[in-house]
Chain A
């Protein structure tokens, strides 16, 4: 990894504890309320009570309709719903899904101190307003929008794009407005970051219209029209000519000294199987393909550039594929499993909105309420399905697992993505919330460690968003890796060290370690089984290190549940 250079000198790579010490000393002034300190703490609410103020929320009708639909599905499958999830389990889910990290001990304390009804809804509202949520959602969406290729310029442009997208999400800009700008923006990749949706397809000064048409259809419409790039789609109605027409919508776009711009003279031309956007006139063999969309032609804009007209078509309020695609993707982000997978190959919507189709229900609510991503998240997370426990009596057999999964009878187990694992590990090193605005510590750890860690950890998500099982190298890096050692080590600045030094006894140490790493308290049985780690250790520090190591490596840590 390149280090900053000044003249002939290269900055030494600081050790993490040293950096952490500096940052912590900055934080200490603000840390008037020590989360370790015993404060008034509300009794943890019992599961199922005061879960939300759902009945009074403006989203209540949609949530109730979804709950009814899922109840019917369970009834057909003759399956009871799982019990309601514990409040802290919900808090953990929300943090992992939205901010890609865990709630700190400070946040857990403050959540538990809020004993009024609707605490989880207030926690959600706070998370939605948190910049970390915008950043994490932007990372998730950008992976689908502009891919995860690694070339140097692609990385720079993707960073600019992701930051821009996070800004839009933070400002709660409607999704259709965001998408319109991506598809049709003009300008330099540096000061108009949205154009990087288009520059992702630029290679050797040429824009690959096929690549963009494929991306538009898969990400925005949940349809693999790009199968028709080479042949008619085997199952769906897409024809090769329809794909060519879609690609032709990008023919005017070109790279110029002022960035991406649209040249009205350019046409999409196909010659002996190869595709090129060329300026007219053209002689010789081949054919010009005019821009054309595969359905809903009346939604295609008029008077704008081809890309502006295409953008109008994509986001048209009658284009139900557009809304269905994003609500399915968001369901996937929140549950760890999309309602329909593969995520980019959704079934065709029927001619009319179907009240028995969950995607239609959510899509209609989304469209009718300003395509507001925050509202969409609020609706999905308020459903009964989101708030069910991940335990269920039927999960004891393989056959039962399939039934529960098909009927959404319990919250699904899903593998955390690498950024969630690293976010969770970093969060556990500090007892306080690491504020986004002074996130030098997280940034520093990320800068020096994330690349190494991810390099060794590898991929856990396949190209369709499904989670992949863990690999041996991942198990090894989690058990024996450098980051794991630094996160676990008991010293003056890590939570391990502070728990070891400041908690009143081993029972309290164990409880704090569980709260920090698993967002819950140990059961009495777990207490009995794990306390020997503390009581038999040479020092308190080593004892807590052993507990933290165990928590980092258990399936509960790396699987959302």
Chain B
């Protein structure tokens, strides 16, 4: 199963597969340096092929708080569970989504829509852990988030930016877990401004003096502890941080070069700016980007709350997918849109919906994903607790990793020597492209 799937999703990322041809290596190098715009225009088939050869990236759009499937991608108007939410048709024949998402409706064919996710965790912290890592919380080990696995497994030659970047303030940040805290995401709390803490407090001459003195003190601490101090990686980390502070690639965080028209398409919000930055980061060769939209925990005023969220999510997500496609990046980027769980079919006395991990939705698109389809369904009347054709969270995580060309079943030793599989699930073959 797994070898077939690996074949199905194309060659392994750069540096792992067979010896590339000269032309291919040039293209790969160009792509990895974030020069996708410099690549020659190709006909659609060739472009798709290039997408498959390019190192892949994972882009997670995290809808924090538990988005209601009924007010987003699985509306049931006219039914008991549906509430007042209306539906609109999409470019995928016969598939409707909530009327608050007119722009997403136009690009829904770039996604596969899963309406039958089931999780065992109905608490925010545990739920996000389960969905982001593919494992239930376990007090004896911290599992890495999918984003950390992608950053760990996918090569990023020439990249000076962090391999895993999280945009927007997530309450429960993703973790590198047993892969190491260097795989924790670099967090940017206010996307659109440069990342925080990147500018020294003092002018260049003082900074130079400070760094010179720091070097002396480091040498001094090494006296009699040489290898022990080197093992702390203190200096190494400091050097990487200083490289980042000076890197030209930081321009990826900066939106000044983007036209007003482009910014307007994403929407004038932190989230919209975050999605635009996310696109620029993927373009610069960052292997894993997570962008968080808070505010879906609507225990009260669910419908107004979700409409407000849609005004942020709909333009930004549609613009993001369109932009990735226009720049020939969508075929090398897996895009996952989801939250920690869904919300109850029943409506509570505060006009809200509560936590519901028994049948909720996600969008999955981009590299290696068989798009334009819907998997699973929920009961329009909210009577049946379990969805038809349920998809378990570990299987979703295996699918995402397989689409990235990662050996999802690979065992990695934790720092205490315990072997752990990157994913305990089985990829859903029908969600993956059959042929390159």
Question: Which A residues are within 8 Å of any B CB, using their own CB?
Answer: 147, 149-151, 203-204, 211, 214-215, 218, 224, 226-227, 341-342, 344-345, 389-393, 395-398, 400-401, 404, 413, 415, 455-456, 458-460, 462-464, 466, 468-477, 479-481, 484-485, 488, 523, 525-526, 529-530, 532-533, 536-537, 542, 545-547, 549-551, 553-556, 558-559, 561
- Docked CA distance A530–B218 (Å): 12
- Docked CA distance A396–B226 (Å): 5
| Beta-carbon contact of B415 and A470 below 8 Å | no
Residues of B within 8 A of A345 (CB): 416
| Beta-carbon contact of B221 and A459 below 8 Å | no
Q: A151-B125, A226-B139, A469-B182 are in contact. Are A526 and B220 (CB under 8 A)?
A: yes
- Docked CA distance A390–B227 (Å): 12
| Beta-carbon contact of A469 and B184 below 8 Å | no
- Docked CA distance A526–B200 (Å): 24
Closest 9 CB pairs of A and B: A391-B224, A475-B241, A555-B234, A476-B197, A554-B217, A529-B216, A480-B197, A468-B181, A550-B213
Contact for B139 among A218, A400, A550, CB less than 8 A: A218
| Beta-carbon contact of A468 and B180 below 8 Å | yes
Residues of A within 8 A of B125 (CB): 149-151
Q: Which of B29-37, B168-176, B254-262, B286-294 contacts A (4 or more CB under 8 A)?
A: B168-176
| Beta-carbon contact of A469 and B201 below 8 Å | no
| Beta-carbon contact of B181 and A480 below 8 Å | no
* CB-CB nearest in chain B for A555: B234
| Beta-carbon contact of B173 and A400 below 8 Å | no
Residues of B within 8 A of A218 (CB): 139-140
| Beta-carbon contact of A554 and B214 below 8 Å | yes
| Beta-carbon contact of B227 and A396 below 8 Å | yes
* CB-CB nearest in chain A for B221: A556
B187 within 8 Å of A by Cβ? yes
- Pull 18 A–B residue pairs with CB atoms less than 8 Å apart, ordered by A: A204-B122, A211-B139, A390-B228, A391-B225, A395-B228, A396-B227, A397-B226, A398-B231, A463-B139, A463-B140, A463-B141, A472-B240, A472-B241, A475-B241, A546-B202, A547-B213, A554-B221, A555-B232
- Docked CA distance A224–B418 (Å): 13
Residues of B within 8 A of A215 (CB): 139
* CB-CB nearest in chain B for A526: B220
* CB-CB nearest in chain B for A413: B228
| Beta-carbon contact of A480 and B201 below 8 Å | yes
Chain B 160-208 interface residues, beta-carbon cutoff 8 Å to A: 162, 169, 171-173, 175, 178, 180-182, 184, 186-187, 189, 196-202, 206
Q: A413-B229, A476-B244 are in contact. Are A526 and B217 (CB under 8 A)?
A: yes
Question: Which B residues are within 8 Å of any A CB, using their own CB?
Answer: 122-125, 139-142, 162, 169, 171-173, 175, 178, 180-182, 184, 186-187, 189, 196-202, 206, 209-210, 213-214, 216-218, 220-221, 223-229, 231-235, 237-238, 240-241, 244-245, 415-416
4 new A-B contacts, CB < 8 A, other than A397-B226, A554-B221, are A150-B172, A413-B229, A549-B201, A553-B238
Residues of A within 8 A of B231 (CB): 398, 401
A315 to chain B: closest CB distance in Å? Answer: 22
Count of inter-chain pairs, beta carbons less than 8 A: 186
Contact for B181 among A458, A536, A556, CB less than 8 A: A458
| Beta-carbon contact of B213 and A472 below 8 Å | no
| Beta-carbon contact of B206 and A471 below 8 Å | no
| Beta-carbon contact of A525 and B220 below 8 Å | yes
- Docked CA distance A476–B194 (Å): 13
Main secondary structure of the interface of A (DSSP, over half): helix
Residues of B within 8 A of A458 (CB): 173, 181, 184
| Beta-carbon contact of B213 and A391 below 8 Å | no
| Beta-carbon contact of A397 and B227 below 8 Å | yes
| Beta-carbon contact of A224 and B140 below 8 Å | yes
- Docked CA distance A482–B271 (Å): 24
Q: A150-B171, A523-B220 are in contact. Are A555 and B209 (CB under 8 A)?
A: no
| Beta-carbon contact of B209 and A469 below 8 Å | no
| Beta-carbon contact of B198 and A459 below 8 Å | no
Q: A392-B224, A460-B181, A542-B206 are in contact. Are A473 and B200 (CB under 8 A)?
A: no
- Docked CA distance A392–B226 (Å): 9
A545 to chain B: closest CB distance in Å? Answer: 8
Q: A149-B125, A400-B227 are in contact. Are A470 and B234 (CB under 8 A)?
A: yes
| Beta-carbon contact of A401 and B227 below 8 Å | yes
| Beta-carbon contact of A479 and B415 below 8 Å | no
Contact for A342 among B182, B238, B416, CB less than 8 A: B416
A38 to chain B: closest CB distance in Å? Answer: 27
Residues of B within 8 A of A341 (CB): 416
| Beta-carbon contact of B224 and A456 below 8 Å | no
| Beta-carbon contact of A456 and B197 below 8 Å | yes
Residues of A within 8 A of B142 (CB): 462-463
| Beta-carbon contact of A473 and B197 below 8 Å | yes
A529 to chain B: closest CB distance in Å? Answer: 4
Residues of A within 8 A of B197 (CB): 456, 473, 476-477, 479-481
* CB-CB nearest in chain B for A525: B220
| Beta-carbon contact of B237 and A480 below 8 Å | no
| Beta-carbon contact of A227 and B139 below 8 Å | no
| Beta-carbon contact of B235 and A533 below 8 Å | no
| Beta-carbon contact of A558 and B234 below 8 Å | yes
- Docked CA distance A187–B218 (Å): 53
| Beta-carbon contact of A469 and B244 below 8 Å | no
- Docked CA distance A488–B171 (Å): 29
A385 to chain B: closest CB distance in Å? Answer: 16
A341 to chain B: closest CB distance in Å? Answer: 8
- Docked CA distance A460–B182 (Å): 10
Residues of A within 8 A of B221 (CB): 554-556, 561
